[in-house]
Amino acid sequence: MALVYDNSSIECMDADISSRKIVRSSFMQIKNIGKCMVYKCSRNSEATVTVELNPKKAKHNANSSLDKDSTVKGENILVAINCMKSLKIYLTNKTGTHKAQNFSTGHYTYAQITKQIPSTPRLIPPLEIIPPPDEDEEKKQIE
Amino acid sequence: MSKVSYLVQKNTNSIIAKNHFRPLEDSSGTYGTFMVATKENDIMHCTVGALTPSIKTWFTNFNQPVLSERLYLTAIDNLLKKVEYLQLSSQFDQELITEEEFSFELETYEDRYLIKANDNFSPEEFDLVITIANKLKHKQFSTDELSEIFSIPLELVDDFVFNYEVKNIGLL
């Protein structure tokens, strides 16, 4: 299933990223994930889950899609990968007019649409990024 | 022995200026009070007044230059970290350093490259961020760029934007 609205996201252990332009952005500390290499994909981008999380629980956004073959498609996508290695990006022929830049992440990946495709109508109310509940706090509440 | 003199006009029971304050004996009781003390030539002057909304804004604006300076320094620091990271990545892409050297550099000199989020980021600081961003007329910032530059937690940027719009544009 393809997710197309702003703030739609996927979380997985391995993802295939494809875009017309992929740029390294920064090295950031993100809550509940850790130290991540952040890539910014623009000009028509998509990210697809190839290996699911084990255990299958969202770490950053409770609204993330976790299933295999879930895809986020948008104009701009932010990809955060929890690894210290720089990943190689390779070119492929995608359409009759344009090539595409691709890479596989091979590590924990969080991919979020930051700008949806312009022709897509906006979702009302917009999707929110909700941090998943803390397991320790849940146990304390039960006790 | 220092003398203390009050600038209280006891006849009217109001403190600084009748135009700006309600008399203190007013029992509606919705305002707090403020006190300002100055010392000059061993004489201390103490001023007390009702904390009306305009005076409260005047006091909170004292903190603004400090917050602004902190934000500017954070932005400069994070942009320099980004430049260092991209220079390192460029060396790796040109095969001037190996993958192991790249990973070693990131792990050993983390403070040079790692952008950390500020978990105590406040709505007042976000208002200042928007003021700064609006002054850069040639650039339109996305939420993830604001998060990267000003160390705003990635999961909270949209909440700050929504609250800002509600407060300043009055969407609700």
Q: Which pLDDT score, from 0 to 100, does residue B85 have?
A: 93
Closest by CA position to A69, among listed A112, A117, A12? A12
Chain A segment 69-108 residues within 8 A of B by beta carbon are 76, 78, 84-86
Residue predicted with more confidence, B51 or B96: B96
B28 pLDDT band, cuts 50/70/90, is low
Q: Is the pLDDT of residue B15 over 70?
A: no
User: Does the beta carbon of A61 lie under 8 angstroms from any beta carbon of chain B?
Assistant: yes
DSSP 8-state secondary structure symbol assigned to residue B136: -
Query: Max Cα separation, chain A?
Result: 61
Q: Which pLDDT score, from 0 to 100, does residue B55 have?
A: 81
Q: Which range (A35-39, B157-161, B168-172) has the least confidence? A: B168-172
Q: How far apart are CA B172 and CA B167, in angstroms?
A: 9
Q: Which pLDDT score, from 0 to 100, does residue A38 have?
A: 93
Mean confidence (pLDDT) of chain B: 79
Q: Cβ(A12)–Cβ(A50) under 8 Å?
A: yes
Distance from the B56 Cα atom to the nearest Cα atom in chain A, whole angstroms: 34
Q: Which pLDDT score, from 0 to 100, does residue A98 have?
A: 79
The residue-averaged pLDDT of B110-118 equals 92
B148 and A31 within 8 Å at the Cβ level: the answer is: no
Q: Tell me which residue in B86, B106, B107 faces A24 most closely, judged by beta carbons.
A: B86
Q: Predicted ipTM?
A: 0.83
Q: Which pLDDT score, from 0 to 100, does residue A141 have?
A: 60
Q: Splitting chain A (143 residues) into consecutive groups of 10 residues, what average pLDDT does each group show?
A: 88 94 92 91 92 90 91 94 86 80 92 91 82 66 60
CA A47 to chain centre: 6
Q: Is the pLDDT of residue B16 over 50?
A: no
H or E, element range at A78: strand A76-81
Whether residue B53 is preceded by a cis peptide bond, meaning omega within 30 degrees of 0, is no
Q: How far apart are CA B128 and CA B90, in angstroms?
A: 34
Name every chain B residue with its beta carbon within 8 A of the beta carbon of A129: 154-155, 158
If you compute the radius of gyration of chain B from its CA atoms, what whole number of angstroms results? Answer: 25
Tokens of A100: 């595409």
Q: How far apart are CA B172 and CA B169, in angstroms?
A: 9
Provide CB contacts within 8 A for B36, sequence distance 6+. Answer: B46, B47
Amino acid code (one letter) for B161: V
Digit-coded pLDDT (tens) for B85-100: 999 999 998 889 998 8
DSSP 8-state secondary structure symbol assigned to residue B156: T
Q: Which pLDDT score, from 0 to 100, does residue B71 have?
A: 92
Q: Which pLDDT score, from 0 to 100, does residue B59 have?
A: 75
A29 and B153 within 8 Å at the Cβ level: the answer is: no
Amino acid code (one letter) for B54: S
